[in-house]
Structure 1
């Protein structure tokens, strides 16, 4: 397989990344970004392009026509509801929205792969470039996998990357096992009965229950982060009653984020939190309801998939280690690991760069060829090297 990008390729990819940066779309709204991806990929002549996956997702298939494994590489299309404060010429042109997580850079790395796959297909098997929507809300991967067309591109191996500020530029963090936590947003609604503030005893206020619930929920946190028993509950929002002085409240909401290293531990934490809410509401004669939002499963790197990424980086002379992993943050790429051998790496974006979700963050263009090299070497090692493999081609 032809390997490497020309100087012209890199210049065009950088310009395209900056174009995407100027026109960010948040989770669920990535329609124009998806069209940009399809337009950019068209000259590479993919064998199949699936659009509208999981919302606005795009899957481009590069098929050798020879039986072999299917490799899926995922990037994200969505931006964030953050006002950018950068003075860069390519800063966001959309008020209140910006690519402060680098997803447009990850997407450009996959576009760099498309350039090379368009010139020469792998010797066997096929490569699927998955441009996924709605990663930030946790809905995108689940939506893609639930799409009726997904079984036609279901991979044997799935790979992804995320840039990582605070890590030297181009240096990779990678380990097998847990790399990102499971998490979910828990919204608790408590309903009682309003009353005149001069006669609060004639109503049923949720105030006392709210005051007990917040410390009780955070008290479910347990275990060291390096333990599979780790659990963390963070209260993120609460509101109660109307903003007036004449009404004693009859309704309240408490929002909390539940976080664990493992999905099984999350099941236990959810059960404990719901039991706590149920008992507290019952004790004070309140009705209650619970619903969940932004549900992320744990991301676990498969040993074999991780070994393939390590081998590719060794072949390319790219430094890597296991430091700073796993992370408390969540990533919806973990869902791809439920049906494939999957692994995600973290590509250093500089020790002194702004952190992700900071309003002055900007994806380093120098990472585009580095990320593409790692992934293209992975393709070459798995699909071009002579070896036996079971795959669905």
Structure 2
């Protein structure tokens, strides 16, 4: 392990680096693209990577993903650093001069900042090739809907670069600026969207008894499903939460009693085993309510996220880097309730993810006035470079 003298790259990132990375991040912020639509964002990434001269660039990985590979002549481990390409379908209400130029879409989770952090690592690797093994910078598509990691891993070309270690970070409002949350074990909850359709028969609004309305069943199901959650804290292995996110009954017409209803709920558990049990209970409740009301029903699942678990060795790799950078860690912050597509990389490598504090006065993730703090770019880049130095230099 290299000495923890905090002088691995004097002046990195330089003022010029910081200015360029900040400008690039803000350009990404102006041009957000949703999950699966990140074609122009991917082009910007490839253009940014070009001056760093990676040995290989895999474009179109699992969709619009980009993997840049920096090889060493000597055998050694492969370390993958991952960030996300996609934005959110939310209208930005902040007043920053670089606010989103795309109506109804915005980088309100900080993926633009995560990309800038990896861009900083790429600039460093352009001047500092690994001595052994290889560094892989992955710009992953479709994180927000939970589809991207699975598609990247399923891409046949990923087998050529399957890493020994996969590392990631996410900025976190509410955590003190520049502080970190990192622990082995459960890191982020499993979740999935459950879409329920109830079908009966329409009727004239003056004669509702001649139809079969889903309203009574829908009214019972909303509190019944939310009541399946055990509550508590995510550190409890039995933690679960059911949240109603959308409901629609019939058509917007005063003359028609409804014949169909749609209910969307999000199921959330600390781990995948708990999710299997919660799904079974929720499906049984929906089926029973539909049968009792004489309705047909259908269930489909969307935005499926596995739970995210931090491997002990990969966690120590990140912990040593944080120590080298004198970054404090705050205990008791994990696992977080939110879900992370990164968990799937644990199937193919030793993986770990940390949270990097955006500050206690920063708007929450997915809020319409959220904006990634540019001053985190240099901190995140240095942490990741420290990880690479421990094993590849």
Bin for the TM-score computed over the shorter chain: over 0.9
Corresponding residue for 2:176?
168
After superposition, the Cα gap between the structure-2 partners of 1:206 and 1:325, relative to the gap in structure 1 and judged at 3 Å, is same
In the TM superposition, 1:151-300 aligns within 5 A as: 151-222=159-230, 224-225=232-233, 226-300=235-309
Distance 1:245 1:100 in 2: 38
In the alignment, structure 1 residue 350 sits paired with structure 2 residue 335: no
Equivalent residues of 1:194, 1:203 under 8 A apart: yes
After superposition, the Cα gap between the structure-2 partners of 1:244 and 1:89, relative to the gap in structure 1 and judged at 3 Å, is closer
Corresponding residue for 2:317?
308
Corresponding residue for 1:111?
119
Corresponding residue for 1:388?
none
In the alignment, structure 1 residue 137 sits paired with structure 2 residue 145: yes
Runs (5+) with no aligned partner, structure 2:
3-7
Aligned length: 384
Corresponding residue for 2:41?
33
Distance 1:360 1:294 in 2: 24
Equivalent residues of 1:302, 1:343 under 8 A apart: yes
Corresponding residue for 1:68?
76
- Quote the offset at 1:28 in angstroms: 1.6
Corresponding residue for 2:100?
92
Distance 1:153 1:270 in 2: 35
Distance 2:160 2:284 in 1: 41
Equivalent residues of 1:175, 1:321 under 8 A apart: no
Corresponding residue for 1:339?
348
CA RMSD after TM alignment = 1.5
More displaced, 304-313 or 203-212?
203-212
Corresponding residue for 1:54?
62
Q: 1:304-333 CA distances to partner (integer Å, 9 max, x unpaired)? A: 111111111111212112232211111111
Distance 2:246 2:372 in 1: 30
Corresponding residue for 2:158?
150
Distance 2:161 2:329 in 1: 30
After superposition, the Cα gap between the structure-2 partners of 1:245 and 1:95, relative to the gap in structure 1 and judged at 3 Å, is closer
- Quote the offset at 1:102 in angstroms: 1.0
Paired residue secondary structure (2:45): helix
Paired residue secondary structure (1:67): strand
Runs of 4+ in 1 over 4 A off after TM superposition: none
Corresponding residue for 1:321?
330
2:13 corresponds, among 5, 29, 32, to 5
Please, what TM-score do these two structures have when normalized by structure 1? 0.94
After superposition, the Cα gap between the structure-2 partners of 1:267 and 1:13, relative to the gap in structure 1 and judged at 3 Å, is same
Distance 1:358 1:334 in 2: 24
Corresponding residue for 2:5?
none
Corresponding residue for 1:127?
135
After superposition, the Cα gap between the structure-2 partners of 1:79 and 1:223, relative to the gap in structure 1 and judged at 3 Å, is closer
Distance 2:95 2:242 in 1: 37
Distance 2:174 2:154 in 1: 35
Distance 2:92 2:248 in 1: 29
Distance 2:296 2:370 in 1: 44
Distance 1:313 1:255 in 2: 40
Paired residue secondary structure (1:84): coil
- Quote the offset at 1:223 in angstroms: 5.1
